[in-house]
């Protein structure tokens, strides 16, 4: 069956908007063509389709961050804080341990404590 580029692009844009799609594979599922046709027409390169996907993703992210901000859930609040934090603030919030190995030198372990206290017991 022969398809028209503009018709497929229009259907793709309508599907993105109606179903809040994020991914190319999702778009293809809503089109009357198979994936090879989609890629033969190079619809994945359509600026209008890319912009529509970006808009949906951005709208969803903004909505989620707003919900996280208003939530009383500490995990959601911590996730938002990490998104908004500087690199130094993230290190202070983190409780990760990084192991550094180097040639002939012994292994060095660096611990980032969430309380702002370094391994020597002093505050940073």
Return the ∠ at Cα 119 (arms to 116 and 122), rounded to 5°: 55
Point out the least confidently predicted range of 8-17, 44-53, 76-85, 96-105.
96-105
> Residue 105, SS3?
strand
pLDDT, average across residues 91-115? 61
Q: Which residues lie across from 81 on neighbouring strands?
A: none
Task: Enter the pTM of the model.
Answer: 0.68
CA–CA separation, 96 and 103 (whole Å): 23
Domain layout of the chain by residue ranges: 5-70, 85-124
């Amino acid at each position: 069956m022969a398809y028209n580029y503009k018709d497929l692009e229009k259907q793709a844009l309508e599907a993105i908007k109606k179903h809040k799609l994020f991914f190319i594979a999702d778009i293809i599922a809503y089109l009357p063509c198979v994936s090879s046709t989609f890629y033969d027409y190079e619809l994945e390169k359509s600026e209008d389709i890319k912009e529509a996907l970006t808009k949906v993703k951005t709208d969803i992210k903004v909505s989620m961050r707003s919900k996280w901000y208003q939530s009383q859930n500490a995990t959601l609040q911590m996730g938002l804080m990490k998104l908004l934090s500087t690199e130094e603030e993230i290190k202070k919030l983190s409780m990760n341990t990084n192991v550094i190995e180097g040639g002939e030198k012994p292994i060095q372990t660096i611990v980032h404590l969430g309380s702002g206290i370094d391994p020597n017991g002093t505050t940073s």
